[in-house]
Structure formats: structure tokens, C-alpha cells
């Protein structure tokens, strides 16, 4: 879950962004502030991942505030004035949203973050990994997949197919990336193209593993680790 704050002095604009955030279950609203100084305490905790920042604020503009931050979170600028767009490019912001902000436009800005390319290391870990599930992007949606549901994952070049007893999801990710995310106590890589769930193993015979109705090959470079897992050497 990524923690967000809103810095916006207009109540109506606050409500619009809050409504949009409520529709994206990987984002958590941690605070709403009417001006920049009010938000400083929240930012100093280091726990804020995304800041939705209005440019025209009372006392200090959003750009002035941003210029003074040493280590800002990911920033999405919001404004009713298109003329600030050029000035905003000097900052490493994720996006620039013009009011009134539609959910479609808002979700595009958030997708730039949630696709993984723009995460800080800490935010990426928080988003991808928890004790019992991951969020998987497939067909422009984000699906929560419990570790207990996963039978196996099949790699297909830059894509993965995640199989459960009830459905399968295709996502744009590599095997190495996902392998680092999954808890090793629950999953093991048995082939260059397969990661399997230990919980769902039915049998191991020769160079194959049965999971549910599927038969998964054991790669020659992975057989020793598989055999060690079941308590004997190959």
C-alpha cells in the first residue's frame, strides 16, 4: 500500500482527489492539508510515497515548497492554470493534472507510478510485497492475488502467466523480478520458465512435478534444489 497526501486549499478539489484515491485500492490517503507548511510534519516522517500538490497555495506556492524539499516523495502537480506546465518541468514530477481532474486522467498519472518503473526502492517493496499477497497488473487493472491461491507461474519472455485454481493472469514482468518478490518459504523456482507453490505440490516423479492438474518440468540446473527441498539428494 502506497501512502499519499493531498496539499490543496480548495475543498471541492480535495474531495475530487479523495474520491479518485478511494477507487484505487493500492493507495492509502494519509492526510489532507490546506497549505504547504501544514504538510511538513507528514513529509518528515519519510513514510509518504506520493504527494498530490496544488501549485497555487496560500502563502507559499506549491513550486516554491517543492523547490525547498531535499528529499521529496513522488509528486503529481495539480492546478487550474495551464501556464505553469513549462515551469513544472524543472522538477522531477510524475505528472501535471489540470482541473477539473477526471478519474481517467487521474488513473493514468497513478499508473505511471504503479507500473513499477517510478518506485523508490522502499515504495516498490511496500507495493509489491506483503505477508500474504501481491498486486498484479493485468489489462490495465490491478488484481490482488493471495500467495495461498497461486499454483505456479510460467515465464514467457517479458511476460508472466500466474495460475490459480480458478483463473490465470498475464502480467508484464520478468521471472527474476517476481522471484525476488515472492517469499522463498512458499515458492521455489524449478525451471527457467517456472516458479511453483510448495503448498500445492501433489507429487514429484523423475523430472516432473504435479500441481493440481498441471505437470511442471524440473530444469536440470534446478533439480538439486528441488531434491534438497524434499529432504534427499538427487
- List the end-to-end C-alpha distance of the chain, in Å, as a whole number: 42
Residue 62 neighbours by CB under 8 Å, 6+ apart: 7, 36, 53, 54, 55, 56, 77, 79
Angle formed by the axes of helices 103-114 and 11-22, nearest 10°: 60
Query: What was the pLDDT predicted at 4?
Result: 94
Listed residue (62, 67, 64) closest to 51, CA to CA: 62
pTM above 0.75, yes or no: no
Residue 99 neighbours by CB under 8 Å, 6+ apart: 13, 16, 78, 79, 80
Strand order in the sheet with 152-156: 168-172, 159-163, 152-156, 194-197, 187-191
The DSSP letter of residue 218 is: P
Residue 65 neighbours by CB under 8 Å, 6+ apart: 7, 36, 53, 57
Lowest-pLDDT range of 85-94, 141-150, 215-224: 85-94
Measured CA to CA, the distance from residue 201 to residue 29 in angstroms comes to 40
Domain ranges of the chain: 2-124, 132-229
Q: What percent of the chain has pLDDT over 90?
A: 38
Measured CA to CA, the distance from residue 137 to residue 111 in angstroms comes to 10
Q: Are 119 and 113 in contact (CB under 8 A)?
A: yes
What confidence tens digit (pLDDT) does each residue in 34-87 have? 999 999 989 988 888 899 999 999 989 888 998 888 888 888 999 887 766 556
| Domain 2-124: which CATH number of 3.60.21.70, 3.40.50.2300, 3.40.50.620, 3.90.550.10 | 3.40.50.2300
Lowest-pLDDT range of 48-57, 84-93, 145-154, 167-176: 84-93
> According to CATH, what is the number of the domain 132-229?
2.40.50.1020
Amino acid at each position: 500500500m502506497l501512502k499519499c497526501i493531498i496539499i490543496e486549499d480548495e475543498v471541492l478539489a480535495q474531495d475530487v482527489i479523495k474520491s479518485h484515491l478511494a477507487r484505487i485500492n493500492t493507495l492509502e490517503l494519509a492526510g489532507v492539508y490546506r497549505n504547504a507548511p501544514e504538510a511538513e510534519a507528514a513529509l518528515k516522517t519519510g513514510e509518504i510515497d506520493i504527494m498530490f500538490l496544488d501549485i497555487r497555495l496560500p502563502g507559499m506556492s506549491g513550486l516554491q515548497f517543492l523547490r525547498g524539499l531535499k528529499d521529496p516523495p513522488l509528486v503529481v502537480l495539480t492546478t487550474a492554470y495551464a501556464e505553469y506546465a513549462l515551469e513544472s518541468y524543472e522538477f522531477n514530477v510524475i505528472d501535471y493534472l489540470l482541473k477539473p481532474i477526471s478519474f481517467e486522467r487521474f488513473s493514468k498519472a497513478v499508473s505511471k507510478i504503479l507500473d513499477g518503473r517510478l518506485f523508490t526502492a522502499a515504495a516498490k517493496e511496500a507495493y509489491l510485497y506483503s505477508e500474504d499477497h501481491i498486486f498484479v497488473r493485468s489489462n490495465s487493472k490491478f488484481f490482488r492475488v493471495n500467495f495461498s491461491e497461486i499454483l505456479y507461474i510460467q515465464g514467457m519472455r517479458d511476460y508472466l502467466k500466474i495460475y490459480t485454481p480458478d483463473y490465470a493472469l498475464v502480467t508484464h514482468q520478468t521471472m527474476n523480478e517476481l522471484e525476488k518478490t515472492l517469499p522463498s518459504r512458499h515458492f521455489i523456482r524449478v525451471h527457467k520458465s517456472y516458479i511453483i507453490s510448495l503448498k500445492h505440490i501433489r507429487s514429484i516423479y523423475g523430472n516432473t512435478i504435479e500441481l493440481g492438474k498441471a505437470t511442471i518440468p524440473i530444469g536440470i540446473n534446478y533439480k538439486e534444489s528441488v531434491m534438497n527441498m524434499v529432504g534427499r539428494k538427487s
